[in-house]
A and B are shown apart, each in its own frame.
Chain A
């Protein structure tokens, strides 16, 4: 069954009655025995919420019966709050006396074809009625649901009278088709089925009613009281008051957040959640239950790394594999295998949890009944068997910022209790292992499984559509390992290189050599005729010719995620499968290298020889002097004023430049004096950390800033009370001339803490802003798609682009920028 369209409209009293199965009027809900009263708000005809009971209307049990509407006859009509504003617009548009539209019939003819809004029609209205020539009194809308004409308050009864008199032809001009405006003033109130507002039985046996039921009880009670009072002939003011109260209750029943109206509360003082509140907001029906749904066949647990499994695999703990199932139809060919699963039952992996008989009935397999079930299994049965190796699963980590946040992996059932993934797929998920959790979903139909495999598998998402480069690549230690292997001319004995190569590949031929260099070992895994030239992260030249690494180290620029040039080219020229194989080989190799050689870092990596410490000390002293000079110049008014800036800003700029230069110089000193150690190696290869981190630990932290400026807040004209007022020297403005290793003074520490706090707040603010921006962008762009005629259209079939992206190229299928004609020519003609 397919929903093709939904028409929105206003329900009319006739229809309310026709929809309803019961007319409700009793103020009590339950009788003394605790059974729902007929005619009360929990009328058994309205559906069932308790298990074991059958619906009085349709005979269905819980789950089968969706519930049925009832209705309440309102003693006096009441305005629907949400439509009050529209009612006001309508009332202004019609004659106060004869209810004809206040527009000249001649004018109407002119505008008939156009669909004008209420506001535009208002502009055309006359002061006097063109039909009965009566004067029009001034109408006022008293928020939220009252109206007055001059001094006289218009009761809903009067409103209805006026609206009822509007002839249909006038309504058509206004734009009311198939609907009557008097329906906006309620005379009958539909009572939603109990399934919409189920009551909960607490352990104590006490019944706790839903917020909506509470609200409806109020409405029914006041309605009855109003009726009694009218029957008794009570004075007008009492009736008015009760009527107003009824209006209030019905108003808050629809929306409990009307401005100017105190919200209806529960006895405990909690504000009730009524109809509008159920739909609104992120947790409401629309965004919370319709746009996003909870699903079965999913699992979530902590993730941990496993370099031994391939990039398109996911390690699934056995406990989870025994809980998640895949339905398999039994045929003659797989009958025996299926029987084995059933024999294993729910507690032994690989077993099965349920069988579905050909008639559609589900049966749970238990250790007790499994023997029995095995016997009855014939082709046509469906077995929900445990997850096993090779099954397709969707793997996801939130926040799902791009499509690579959900990818299809192949299952590997493993011991332990965490999901395992290869480190190379960390970048697309933006995952690390400091306690991150991820979700796993198992597609249940063959169609879904195939689709997941063809469209969502990791191999299909190597190239990010954002920048047309590989987003999957070597990561952290994998880069360290390759760098360690390929940097310089390291020699490996026959025993060593055999072990390295065999760890990766058991089939590859071992070269007949006494020794191999690291570069040669790496080259084994390169495609045979592969050539590339690129610049390493350090600026060194890297040359690969015909599948041989000739010069330069392999680092982040070569094989890293996002900027790996070698990976980029391999994916492009040899395809995704070759990419997968290559990446897995070299990363396995990298890990093996690290395991053989060892790789550890120490705080002593940041030790500097005495002369370097002295050099840095002198440098910081120099900076201090330079800045002092600038300040002196500034004080004498001799500073060079930069275009468009005040002298003070120019000074700040000059200081900033001096400081930046000094940091660069310190970096050079560090580069010169630091022995080649593992920390430096990580920074150089791009595996982790940067030289800035080392400078900050070994030499100095530098200037602490807030909003890009030097520190300036705190006390009046100074950052700390022990500085002179107006002191703009380095120390007084948050310059930290010491490194983390030598330690900070309390004041420097404080400056650093200020800086840290700023970036912390910045981060949380940023995620919120960019999150909302994403929501808006998706809201604006979600329906755009490429049609068969190669145009981009929205859901109303409007053409947004005649050729997507002006050239029709999919960024996830091309290299950065577009198709490189030159390189194609290169390949063709050399």
Chain B
């Protein structure tokens, strides 16, 4: 089986853009002339054709094995402090599993915020970091008390400048309240008479009302990385953070797949799955080719929505009933297939292994049709 015959002659195949760019770079740095360039291109093409995947290669299994074989060597410890910043993040095997599970929210949601050129200094970064930390009413108040005499709640604030904003916030979120701003405090009086217990509940609600900063961002730490000042946050809210003027929206990221998918789209989610999975493995000193992780990212985002690997995601929605039944929840799949009158077309690997047939990939992907010459023709 020569590679040439499978993939056609070299003329038909264009080099991928990445290689063309590299050739350009080499030509430039070595100051090659036109003739040399053509020669180089031909040589690269020769190597390229030799190194391509052969049709029938089971790239899926290759990727799955390449990712999980080194995973045996990963740590089970759940958290570590990322870099010198004091942000605890999930890492190692638990993080990898979390990524493939496509959890709605990661165990430790964090963001890395890069800043625009003019804000790329310690002072600005610190200020922005301060500003985005979520603060609720409790966080900006000195004391919180219930005035039983006139059935109202008194809030003493640390900073009266925020009083107006708090009042507005309360009005927007809770109904039937009368709000008065005083010199050092604001008092909130329900329009209807409330019992003490109801007042307590109301107090609780007001305490947790969002006042300032960005929701979900529980902490933010400034850190220096190379020439950049960046902010690491605990908690994540990509949508809101991207609305800030000061940040570099091209580089700012979160580790929440679904958030990326919603805010930046499915392609973003695919890249993010790739980057995060690769990063998680590289942190542990494990060497895995991007191509494998890429495939996982692609299959997880194939339908346009992020799907998990596993029973409720990609593996559970295989076309073959038998493959699904063999994977997990055997009975459920068989029962469902029977009522729906489903058909298994034996296009996959598992099904064919089950009934002892040649699998439709690798050397089993094609049939040979030989036309033998008749006896009289031979003579």
A786 close to B57 (CB less than 8 A): yes
Instruction: For B57, give the chain A residue with the smallest CB separation.
Output: A786
A777 close to B68 (CB less than 8 A): yes
Within 8 A of B (CB), among A70-114: 82-83, 86
B66 close to A466 (CB less than 8 A): yes
B295 close to A6 (CB less than 8 A): no
Instruction: For B72, give the chain A residue with the smallest CB separation.
Output: A770
A643 within 8 A of B: yes
Q: Considering the chains assembled together, what is the distance between the CA atoms of A708 and B57 in angstroms?
A: 42
Contacts of B68 in A (CB 8 A): 401, 770-771, 773-774, 777
Contacts of B67 in A (CB 8 A): 777
Contacts of B61 in A (CB 8 A): 403, 778, 781-782, 784
Q: Considering the chains assembled together, what is the distance between the CA atoms of A77 and B341 in angstroms?
A: 23
Q: Considering the chains assembled together, what is the distance between the CA atoms of A816 and B223 in angstroms?
A: 32
Contacts of B53 in A (CB 8 A): 786, 790, 804-805, 808-810
Contacts of A82 in B (CB 8 A): 331, 335
A465 close to B86 (CB less than 8 A): no
B71 within 8 A of A: yes
User: How far apart are A452's CB and chain B's nearest CB, in angstroms?
Assistant: 11
Within 8 A of B (CB), among A1-23: 2-10
A785 close to B59 (CB less than 8 A): yes
B263 within 8 A of A: no
Instruction: For B129, give the chain A residue with the smallest CB separation.
Output: A643
B341 close to A780 (CB less than 8 A): no
Instruction: For B67, give the chain A residue with the smallest CB separation.
Output: A777
B63 close to A809 (CB less than 8 A): no
Contacts of A766 in B (CB 8 A): 72, 74-76, 93
Q: Considering the chains assembled together, what is the distance between the CA atoms of A179 and B343 in angstroms?
A: 14
- The number of chain B residues touching the other chain, given as a range, is 35 or more
Which of A216-224, A284-292, A619-627 has 4 or more CB atoms under 8 Å from chain B? A284-292
Within 8 A of B (CB), among A779-809: 779-788, 790, 792, 794-798, 800-801, 803-809
Contacts of B146 in A (CB 8 A): none
A707 within 8 A of B: yes
Q: Considering the chains assembled together, what is the distance between the CA atoms of A4 and B345 in angstroms?
A: 6
Instruction: For B366, give the chain A residue with the smallest CB separation.
Output: A788
Interface hub of A780, A798, A801, A806 (most chain B Cβ within 10 A): A780
B314 close to A780 (CB less than 8 A): yes
A818 within 8 A of B: yes
A804 close to B339 (CB less than 8 A): no
Residue of A10, A293, A466 near B289 (CB, 8 A) is A466
A414 within 8 A of B: no
Q: Considering the chains assembled together, what is the distance between the CA atoms of A804 and B43 in angstroms?
A: 22
A175 within 8 A of B: yes
Q: Considering the chains assembled together, what is the distance between the CA atoms of A786 and B97 in angstroms?
A: 26
B294 within 8 A of A: yes
A601 within 8 A of B: no
Interface hub of B74, B313, B350 (most chain A Cβ within 10 A): B350
When A777-B309, A800-B299 are in contact, do A782 and B349 touch as well, CB less than 8 Å? yes
A280 within 8 A of B: yes
B16 close to A806 (CB less than 8 A): yes
B40 within 8 A of A: yes
Instruction: For A799, give the chain B residue with the smallest CB separation.
Output: B302
Instruction: For B80, give the chain A residue with the smallest CB separation.
Output: A708
Query: Quick one: CB contact mask for B1-44 with A, threshold 8 Å, 1 for yes?
Result: 10000110000000010110011011000101000100110011
B151 within 8 A of A: no
A10 close to B291 (CB less than 8 A): no
Residue of B6, B96, B292, B311 near A773 (CB, 8 A) is B96
A808 close to B97 (CB less than 8 A): no
B59 close to A795 (CB less than 8 A): no
Q: Considering the chains assembled together, what is the distance between the CA atoms of A653 and B80 in angstroms?
A: 12
B86 close to A645 (CB less than 8 A): yes
Contacts of A293 in B (CB 8 A): 356
Contacts of B77 in A (CB 8 A): 707-708, 762
A649 within 8 A of B: yes
B370 within 8 A of A: no
Number of interface residues of A (CB under 8 A): 99
Which of B183-191, B241-249, B250-258, B315-323 has 4 or more CB atoms under 8 Å from chain A? B315-323
Within 8 A of B (CB), among A616-646: 642-645
User: How far apart are B365's CB and chain A's nearest CB, in angstroms?
Assistant: 7
B348 close to A2 (CB less than 8 A): no
A784 close to B40 (CB less than 8 A): no
Instruction: For B48, give the chain A residue with the smallest CB separation.
Output: A819
A673 within 8 A of B: no
Query: Quick one: CB contact mask for A530-551 with B, threshold 8 Å, 1 for yes?
Result: 0000000000000000000000
A819 close to B51 (CB less than 8 A): yes
B97 close to A643 (CB less than 8 A): no
Residue of B232, B331, B348 near A782 (CB, 8 A) is B348
A132 within 8 A of B: no
Query: Quick one: CB contact mask for B195-206 with A, threshold 8 Å, 1 for yes?
Result: 000000000000
Within 8 A of A (CB), among B50-87: 50-72, 74-77, 79-81, 84-87
Q: Considering the chains assembled together, what is the distance between the CA atoms of A822 and B321 in angstroms?
A: 49
B287 within 8 A of A: yes
B344 within 8 A of A: yes
Contacts of A67 in B (CB 8 A): none
Query: Quick one: CB contact mask for A345-357 with B, threshold 8 Å, 1 for yes?
Result: 0000000000000
A276 close to B331 (CB less than 8 A): yes
Within 8 A of A (CB), among B92-107: 93-94, 96-97, 100
B334 within 8 A of A: yes
Q: Considering the chains assembled together, what is the distance between the CA atoms of A402 and B350 in angstroms?
A: 17
Instruction: For A3, give the chain B residue with the smallest CB separation.
Output: B355
B290 within 8 A of A: yes
Contacts of B87 in A (CB 8 A): 644
Contacts of A771 in B (CB 8 A): 68
B264 within 8 A of A: no
B52 close to A769 (CB less than 8 A): no
Contacts of A814 in B (CB 8 A): 51
Contacts of B74 in A (CB 8 A): 766, 770
Q: Considering the chains assembled together, what is the distance between the CA atoms of A708 and B79 in angstroms?
A: 9
B174 within 8 A of A: no
Residue of A280, A290, A762, A825 near B354 (CB, 8 A) is A290
A824 close to B296 (CB less than 8 A): no
Q: Considering the chains assembled together, what is the distance between the CA atoms of A775 and B323 in angstroms?
A: 12
Q: Considering the chains assembled together, what is the distance between the CA atoms of A620 and B97 in angstroms?
A: 40
User: How far apart are A205's CB and chain B's nearest CB, in angstroms?
Assistant: 37
A468 within 8 A of B: yes
Q: Considering the chains assembled together, what is the distance between the CA atoms of A5 and B124 in angstroms?
A: 66
A178 within 8 A of B: yes
User: How far apart are A445's CB and chain B's nearest CB, in angstroms?
Assistant: 12
Contacts of A465 in B (CB 8 A): 62, 66, 289
B65 close to A798 (CB less than 8 A): no
A779 close to B16 (CB less than 8 A): no
B342 within 8 A of A: yes
Instruction: For B87, give the chain A residue with the smallest CB separation.
Output: A644
A824 close to B47 (CB less than 8 A): yes
User: How far apart are B72's CB and chain A's nearest CB, in angstroms?
Assistant: 5
Contacts of B315 in A (CB 8 A): 776, 779-780
Within 8 A of A (CB), among B269-296: 287-292, 294-296
User: How far apart are B314's CB and chain A's nearest CB, in angstroms?
Assistant: 4
B353 close to A291 (CB less than 8 A): yes
Contacts of A774 in B (CB 8 A): 64-65, 68-69, 71
B131 within 8 A of A: no
B40 close to A809 (CB less than 8 A): no
Residue of A10, A777, A786, A829 near B296 (CB, 8 A) is A777
Q: List 26 A-B contacts (CB under 8 A).
A: A6-B343, A7-B341, A9-B338, A10-B338, A286-B322, A645-B86, A773-B68, A773-B71, A777-B100, A779-B315, A779-B327, A781-B314, A782-B60, A785-B60, A786-B59, A787-B55, A790-B53, A794-B60, A794-B319, A801-B294, A816-B287, A819-B47, A821-B23, A822-B26, A824-B43, A825-B40
Given A8-B343, A801-B298, 4 other A-B contacts at CB below 8 A? A454-B1, A468-B289, A653-B81, A813-B52
The 9 closest A-B pairs by CB, nearest first: A644-B86, A784-B60, A781-B60, A805-B291, A779-B315, A774-B68, A795-B348, A780-B314, A777-B64
